[in-house]
Amino acid sequence: MREQSYLILLALAPEPLYGYGIISAVGELSEGRIKLASGTLYTALDRLGTEGLVDVHREEVVDGRFRRYYTLTGAGRQAVEAETERRAALAARARSRLSLPRISPELA
């Protein structure tokens, strides 16, 4: 799974979000490394929707602006959980190979 897709799914894990909320959450999750442009975001959301990982939760107009909120589907939650486990296992193997100290679960 591409990092952008993973971060979008992770951003949606706690609650449904609209475009700007997803862009902000991805920025926070990546500590500013990933700055999604709106075109990139909506292309990814369309693809994730086609794959059955996200769905439209609701639509509304706020201050004259249209907002479409997205949510994870059950398959989306399973996918982001599996990818999180895969990435954690890879990081543990990398730490071992590099002879880095293990990270305590309390610090992670």
Neighbours of 4 (CB within 10 A): 16
**Quick check: 71 and 9 in contact, CB under 8 A?**
no
This prediction's pTM? 0.88
The CATH T-level fold of domain 3-96 is Arc Repressor Mutant, subunit A (1.10.10)
Condensed to tens digits (0 to 9), the pLDDT of residues 47-86 reads 999 999 999 999 999 889 899 999 999 999 999 999 999 9
Summarised one tens digit per residue, pLDDT across range 20-30 is 999 999 999 99
